[in-house]
A and B are shown apart, each in its own frame.
Chain A
Amino acid sequence: MDLNETAQESAFRNEARTWLEANVPTSPLPSFDTAEGFALHREWEQKLYDGRWSAVSWPVEYGGRGADYIMWLIFEEEYYRSGAPGRVNQNGIFLLGPTIMEVGTQEQKAKFLPSMASSEIVWAQAWSEPNAGSDMASIHSKATRDGDEWVLNGQKIWASRAVWADWCFGIFRTDPTAERHRGLTFILCPLDLPGITVRPIAQLDGDTGFAEIFFDDVRVPVANTLGEENKGWAVAMATAGFERGVSLRSPARFTEAVKRLIHLWKTYGDPTDTALSDAVTDVWVQAEGYRLHTYQTVTGMLEGRTIGAEASLNKIFWSEMDVRIHEIALQILGPEAERMEGPSQRWVDGFLFSLSGPIYAGTNEIQRNIIADRVLRLPKGM
């Protein structure tokens, strides 16, 4: 055990910090869930790519730096420390990208990875359906084979970034006789094809961060299949495991939020209120604990261990911590916490967004079932 950075890690940190300090926009960009904000975030991603910072953990040949997980965490710490914009192509770079690297063909890697790293193509995810939410295996959208093409029909919902994204990835039923998680195929699909209708859904904050996608005889080449036909569930689960486990919410996001919370407490908090100072300390402890837990997890991955259902523990932990951080901030803000503008805006927006955390990427109740079944080996059942 050595929790000091190596010289190489420190040098990497310094390089990232220097680049970010010179390049991060001086004022925050508009939300990437608006047309203007989306375009500006894509420009920022292009800039990151040009500096080879958009996908540091990817191999050099696809635009990355071949950084290991520890270095990826260091980059994330510097990224959040710098106040850089949110990652508009997160669905691609952190979810789909690693999956393509794992199960994609050489042609798919060459075609999709560089354009993903540069955000020339921004990806939306299209998994859930109106009747396939927590029960994701009950997917009805189907893909029917016609020569060298899939013909897609059906409806997806809660597709993040789909309003302005270029492509989507999702799972479709390809074997109508198979049930549940069998007979599904993972398919990549441009969002500007004939037969596709994207209907924005206003979120709790009023922005249209997600959408419904309707497929009406949409034709895509069979070459757009990721992984084996009828084995899409396993491909999707690999992606979901990575999402919940490490890449979706890196610890720096929360350690930086807690730093801002401590600043808010110092500025507006009542120092004689020990319940409040205990609460602020508690989320510092949680964020620091999550950081340490993540470093331990990725060291294990570097030593050859895989993360399985333990990823569900992470997802519950960070999503509940995020809500708690924002609840305390709103408590400190008092009457200002009712305002959706001015100095409290970021905290109120953050609070609304934090409430989605326990729901998306598999509700926390589903995660608890997964932990009980696969880690604690309790019997299946509802």
Chain B
Amino acid sequence: MKFSFTEDQRLFAEGLRDLLSKQCTPTHVREVWENQVGHLPDLWSRLAEMGVLSMLVPESQGGMGGTLIDAVLLFQELGRAAVPGPVLEHMAVAAPALAHSQWAPALNDGTTIATLWVDTSPYVAHAQVANIILTHDSVITDFSMDDVHGIDGGRQLFTVHAQATTETSSEVFGLPASDVMALASAAYLIGVSEAMIEVAAHYARQREQFGKPIGSFQAVKHLMSDALLKVEFAKAPTYRAAWSASTGSSTALRDISMAKALAGEAAYGASRSTMQVHGGIGYTWEADLQLWMKKSWALMRSYGDATYHRRRVGASVLHG
């Protein structure tokens, strides 16, 4: 038994972190929030070049031929930078699900952008940047849309009216698209949480009250430690879920649910604690913290919230 990532997997994730630290700073994310473009086109091209967008597409179909184990650290890095736009939907589901379709080459190189419409939501995220929309059994190739004002400026919501569709399967590695998204968003939420904790720890080192940095007070230390605890203990279950999904394990859905429940709760906990550590500035539009907080509030309930997923685990372990 070996519960670790390979050197290659770690280096690839580090490379992505490096790219995002330059091309997806809070300033870039705010631009997207304000200009309504919906994503960062330059970054999108770089993600395509680097092979992030086609990570889960077989090599025979022009992709990187990676598994969800290869991808899970990348999802985490994307969350750490609160990358705006349909990168998870495109990379985790659309590109691999449509790998044997006419769209494959353009999805791999990013010139066609796909997003996802899951059955459990009336809304489609990122429809304004998408050329095609994948549903559980079709591709919507022509559509009109109406803007729905969403909480996360990096994940705008729309109601979509399909005008032309083509039947297809949306499964990835034999798993339903919504479950693959649950796994991808769990890992993404871990990255989001890590970023919030880093930002708040940095603030707690700088901000002084009573003549001392507020990070020296136990009330602040304990708030931060408890937030970190939940995030750290969501990681191994999320990586295990990626392994189960990659190996066709019979417990894959249970393991994905465990990951999403833990990561969603950890992210929400981190958002509460890190905002509290910021005090008044945490309640402002100006503070960058909101770029991650709102991401956590959007994704914690997408693709199944913690209650849904915990009950799915319960159905397996209490009645199994």
Contacts and interface: CB of A to CB of B under 8 A. Distances in A.
A316 interface: yes
Contacts of A6: 1
B69, B221, B261 — most chain A CB neighbours (10 Å): B221
A112 interface: no
B225 A296 contact: no
Contacts of B118: none
Contacts of B205: 377-379
A342 interface: no
B239 A1 contact: yes
Interface string A339-382: 00000000000000000000000000101110111011111111
A310 B6 CA distance: 22
Given A3-B240, A285-B310, A289-B234, 17 more contacts: A2-B243, A3-B2, A277-B318, A278-B310, A280-B318, A289-B237, A289-B262, A295-B1, A299-B2, A299-B4, A367-B225, A368-B218, A368-B221, A375-B225, A376-B197, A377-B205, A378-B201
A368 B222 CA distance: 5
B1 A293 contact: no
Contact of B258 (A280, A288, A369, A375): A288
A276 to B, nearest CB: 10
Nearest to A316: B229
Contact of A282 (B234, B235, B310): B310
Contact of A262 (B5, B197, B237, B317): B317
A310 B232 CA distance: 9
Contacts, number: 150
A307 interface: no
Given A277-B318, A365-B222, A296 B216 contact: no
Interface in A228-272: 262, 265-266
A290 B314 CA distance: 17
Contact of A295 (B204, B218, B236, B258): B236
Contacts of A277: 314, 318
B143 interface: no
A65 to B, nearest CB: 17
B4, B69, B205, B218 — most chain A CB neighbours (10 Å): B4
B285 interface: no
Contact of A281 (B6, B243, B310): B310
Contacts of A266: 318
Nearest to A372: B221
Nearest to A320: B229
B220 interface: yes
Given A281-B311, A285-B261, A313-B228, A376 B1 contact: no
Given A3-B240, A278-B314, A368 B226 contact: yes
Contact of B1 (A5, A274, A377): A5
A278 B239 CA distance: 23
B40 to A, nearest CB: 30
Nearest to B244: A3
Contacts of B212: 379, 381
A2, A281, A365, A373 — most chain B CB neighbours (10 Å): A281
A289 B318 contact: no
B283 interface: no
A201 B174 CA distance: 60
Contact of A1 (B69, B221, B310): B69
Contacts of A382: 216-218
A1 B311 contact: no
Contact of A2 (B1, B217, B233, B262): B1
B202 to A, nearest CB: 9
Interface string A1-45: 111111001000000000000000000000000000000000000
B215 to A, nearest CB: 4
A281 B317 contact: yes
A285 B229 contact: no
A107 interface: no
B239 A289 contact: no
A367 B229 CA distance: 11
11 contacts: A1-B3, A3-B2, A262-B318, A289-B237, A293-B236, A313-B229, A317-B229, A373-B221, A375-B225, A376-B215, A378-B201
B222 A292 contact: no
B41 interface: no
A2 B2 contact: yes
A378 B4 contact: no
A284 B313 contact: yes
Contacts of B221: 368-369, 371-373, 376, 378
Nearest to B197: A376
A303 interface: yes
B1, B215, B318 — most chain A CB neighbours (10 Å): B1
B237 A377 contact: no
A376 B236 contact: no
Nearest to A375: B228
Interface in B208-256: 212-213, 215-218, 220-222, 224-226, 228-229, 232-237, 239-240, 243-244
